[in-house]
A and B are shown apart, each in its own frame.
Chain A
Amino acid sequence: GAGVSQSPSNKVTEKGKDVELRCDPISGHTALYWYRQRLGQGLEFLIYFQGNSAPDKSGLPSDRFSAERTGESVSTLTIQRTQQEDSAVYLCASSLDRGAYGYTFGSGTRLTVV
């Protein structure tokens, strides 16, 4: 597609429920990144994919968080047993190769855990 597409744009869920966030990167972009942005904070790195492998998943906060990517296409970030501290905007970005020339970001998914 023309840009990075994320869905849903907004998600409200009850504490303890599982959620899935989707990212559709720009066609041909081999690298894909997930970041979390809490209110008033900077971007916190979660995980990075090169193709469908994840060379760096060091930012995942706990084993409740997982992500997968199909080929060089769609990625899904799953949060199990959501907690209130998971409330944030989850941003996805993609880039050519390793992104030496910058990333293209999606508009994000705003997750609210109530």
Chain B
Amino acid sequence: AQSVTQLGSHVSVSEGALVLLRCNYSSSVPPYLFWYVQYPNQGLQLLLKYTSAATLVKGINGFEAEFKKSETSFHLTKPSAHMSDAAEYFCAVSGYSGNTPLVFGKGTRLSVIA
């Protein structure tokens, strides 16, 4: 079974500051890990994914995430926040090869202050 914990339901950063959204996972098998972004009144858009290749994964809009097996973490970062990054971010985990439906965290709402 898999589960995801996102620390912090709401994160607020200043424009230009570092963005760090935390995700810890639990999985009984090697995981596939994903970050999705949801803008208001829209569906979810895939930001990036880890599927057992490079541990540092680069995604769209300047975001990246690092898979750390020893810490069971997959935190999302961006060096410099932009106003357009304000959205809800979801971390998700699937069993190896994607044989099980994605299990999502509860989400973290990112606010960017001018």
A98 pairs with B99, CB closer than 8 A: yes
Which of B41, B51, B102, B103 interacts with A103 by CB under 8 Å?
B102
Some 8 contacts from A to B, beta carbons below 8 A apart, are: A42-B104, A42-B106, A45-B103, A95-B98, A98-B98, A99-B102, A100-B98, A107-B42
Range for the number of chain A residues in contact with chain B? 20 to 34
B94 pairs with A100, CB closer than 8 A: yes
A99 and B94 contact, Cβ closer than 8 Å, known pairs A105-B43, A105-B44, A107-B43: yes
B103 contacts across to A, CB distance below 8 A: 45
State A98–B102 Cα separation when bound (angstroms).
10
Q: How far is the CB of B100 from chain A (nearest CB, A)?
A: 8
Q: How far is the CB of B67 from chain A (nearest CB, A)?
A: 15
State A48–B106 Cα separation when bound (angstroms).
20
A residues whose Cβ falls under 8 Å from a Cβ of B: 4, 33, 35, 41-43, 45, 48, 56, 91, 93, 95, 97-108
A42 pairs with B43, CB closer than 8 A: no
A33 pairs with B49, CB closer than 8 A: no
B45 at the interface (CB under 8 A from A): yes
Q: CB-CB contacts of B69-109 with A at 8 A, as 1s and 0s? A: 00000000000000000000010101001111111111100
B18 at the interface (CB under 8 A from A): no
A105 contacts across to B, CB distance below 8 A: 36, 43-45
State A91–B36 Cα separation when bound (angstroms).
14
A48 pairs with B101, CB closer than 8 A: yes
Look across to chain A and name the residue whose beta carbon is closest to the beta carbon of B45: A105
